[in-house]
Amino acid sequence: MTQQFYVSPEQLMKDRADFARKGIARGRSVVVISCQDGIALVAENPSPSLHKIGEIYDKIAFAAVGKYNEFESLRQAGVRYADVRGYSYDREDVTARGLASVYAQSLGAVFTAEQKPFEVELAVAEVGPTPELDHLYRLTFDGSIADEHGFIVMGGQAERVSAVIAEGWRPSLRFAGAVRLATRSLASGPDPAAEQGEAGGTLPAKAVEVAVLDRQSETSRGFRRAFRRLNDSDITALLAEED
Amino acid sequence: MQETTANQVAGNATSSFTEHLQRDRPDLLPYNRAMPAAAAATAPLQVPHATTIVAMSYGGGVLMAGDRRATMGNVIASRHIEKVFPADRYSVLGIAGTAGIAIDLTRLFQVELEHYEKIEGTLLSLDGKANRLGAMIRGNLPMAMQGLAVVPLFAGFDTTAGVGRLFSYDVTGGRYEEREHHTVGSGSVFARGALKKLWRPNLAEAEAVSVAVESLYDAADDDSATGGPDPVRQLWPVVYTVNRDGARRIPESELAAVAGRIIETRSAERREA
């Protein structure tokens, strides 16, 4: 039998956290911005089918960075949680707060009990009737949860991207302005993809994945479900729009 | 060890909300309930029954309409009940039979379709939706044997083929594709008779709405469990159309005008039927 070396709990947790942080920083960034029209979710993602952004429920969306298999299983678990809850109670009883706390508990349990922590960072966004009632939650690999105001930036060169957003963000932004700000901030990294960005250093529509939670989905489109994924031509049209 | 884990993951991966409930929360399903054996022996349970639904194809899509009455024996249980629902953007379903179970089945079916769409990122094919509904009706078979049957009618727009399609079911979950038109529920015989005379291929949408309302009028005329248009309470049938643009509920004002015209014509004719 091999000799077990003593490792202090502090060191063990620190090693796990460093491991997860490294995995998350390796990927590309995702930006979630709350604005006047609703919430815009923008990810740098060249794949048109492997999504980093997803719909959870009527007013709730999900965005993630890190390992695809890990956050995809969390996304599916979230959809199941929300659908079971909405089916057994009522649709309006499904809230981002409830979902975020379930995510926090599962991430926390995996961080302490499993062989390796999840290398993911999640955002859960819920659009409200007014921008003040929007909820943005950030969940990290160890299960900590933060209630953010205005915007969330996760993964990749998060600090650099965050600085660009903080400078340009106003609550009065429309979707066009928010998506433009997000693509500009994502292009600010030293990533080779950024070089493809044309004038003003924004990313081409092909390189980003964009979805929105529409604040006025009932009145403007007649849908209870606020989530809408934008295709390349939608994104190009939106970026060309005046503020 | 490796293989069992992989098998487990694959086995647990499901895009079906019903399967998920069956595994984790079977108590939430509307069916799968053990009923006391004694209940079956006595007289059938007195519960609200939903009645007539008509559906037909028209130029560009399909239409479904249902009257507003639920009965419990000889009593009218509800004058306002709605029995035609949108299932998702491109399909609608109407239900006849035990109202309580039927409404829960509808809710389950709506969540089933939305759940699949969110998990998979694409809409289920129209045949896939029709098969899922059939499986749910089959799940309800034990209850149907005890007199609590649900019989749906399903209509949707097949976005790949570009046509509207219509499906009927029996209590065992058998699925049959219908052409032209179909009816279910207690007044279905009379509504069907009316449709045979009124329906033509490639009706315009407004004509199809009028045909649907008139066939329900005829059903209500001869079947006590079907409610006709009610000008006193301003109650009209629920009518949905589904075409390339998706499902749309015909507004009350339009239905009031259509029903008004039918009542007027029939009064003017001063005939027995």
- A14-71 residue pLDDT tens: 999 999 998 888 888 999 999 999 999 999 988 888 999 999 999 999 999 999 999 9
A77-100 average pLDDT score: 93
Chain A closest-CA separation from residue B273 CA (Å): 41
Q: Are A88 and A147 in contact (CB under 8 A)?
A: no
List CB contacts (< 8 A) between A55 and chain B. 118
Confidence of residue B34 (pLDDT cuts 50, 70, 90): low
Confidence of residue A128 (pLDDT cuts 50, 70, 90): very high
Confidence of residue B1 (pLDDT cuts 50, 70, 90): very low
Chain A closest-CA separation from residue B10 CA (Å): 12
pLDDT of residue A194: 47
Phi–psi pair at B42, nearest 5 degrees: -75, -175
Q: Tokens in use for B153?
A: 């009618």
Q: Tokens in use for B136?
A: 């749910």
Name the nearest CA neighbour of B240 among B27, B22, B46, B94: B94
In 3-state terms, what secondary structure has residue B72? strand
pLDDT of residue A189: 61
Confidence of residue B189 (pLDDT cuts 50, 70, 90): very high
CB-based contact, B20 to chain A, within 8 Å: yes
CB burial string B67-93: b at 16+ within 10 A, e below = bbbbbeeeeebeeebbbbbbbbbbbbb
pLDDT of residue A43: 93
pLDDT greater than 70 at residue B43: no
Beta strand extents in chain B (DSSP E only):
49-50, 53-58, 61-66, 70-72, 75-78, 84-88, 91-98, 150-158, 163-169, 175-178, 181-184, 238-243, 246-249
Q: Are A33 and A165 in contact (CB under 8 A)?
A: yes
Q: Tokens in use for B227?
A: 């409610």
pLDDT greater than 90 at residue B48: no
- Compare CB distances from B118 to A49, A55, A87 and report the shortest one's residue: A55
List CB contacts (< 8 A) between B249 and chain A. none
Average pLDDT over chain B, rounded to an integer: 89
Chain A closest-CA separation from residue B188 CA (Å): 31
Token look-up 């930036």 returns: A153
pLDDT greater than 70 at residue B2: no
Cβ neighbours around A105 below 10 Å, total: 12
Query: Cβ neighbours of residue A116 under 8 Å, at least 6 residues apart?
Result: A16, A19
pLDDT of residue A82: 94
* Cα distance from N-terminal residue to C-terminal residue, chain B: 75
Residue % of chain A over a pLDDT of 90: 55
- Here the ipTM equals 0.89
pLDDT of residue A49: 87
Q: Which residue has the higher pLDDT, A206 or B242?
A: B242
Cβ separation of B114 and A83 shorter than 8 Å? yes
pLDDT of residue B37: 58
Q: Are A213 and A230 in contact (CB under 8 A)?
A: no
Query: Cβ neighbours of residue A110 under 8 Å, at least 6 residues apart?
Result: A117, A118, A143
Residue % of chain B over a pLDDT of 90: 64
pLDDT of residue B74: 87
Residues A130, A224: Cα–Cα separation, whole Å: 16
pLDDT greater than 60 at residue A225: yes
> DSSP string covering B205-259, please?
HHHHHHHHHHHHHHHHHH-TTS---BTTTTB--EEEEEETTEEEEPPHHHHHHHH
Q: Tokens in use for B107?
A: 């809710």
Instruction: For residue B51, indicate whether it is catalytic.
Output: yes
List CB contacts (< 8 A) between A56 and chain B. 118
The reported pTM is: 0.90
Residue % of chain A over a pLDDT of 70: 93
pLDDT of residue B144: 85
- pLDDT for B5-25, tens place per residue? 667 777 777 888 988 888 888
Cβ separation of B28 and A56 shorter than 8 Å? no
Question: What count of Cα atoms within 13 Å lies in the side-chain half-sphere of residue B186?
Answer: 20
Confidence of residue B205 (pLDDT cuts 50, 70, 90): very high
Residues A234, A52: Cα–Cα separation, whole Å: 18
Residues A213, A233: Cα–Cα separation, whole Å: 18
List CB contacts (< 8 A) between B28 and chain A. 84, 87-88
Cβ separation of B115 and A76 shorter than 8 Å? no
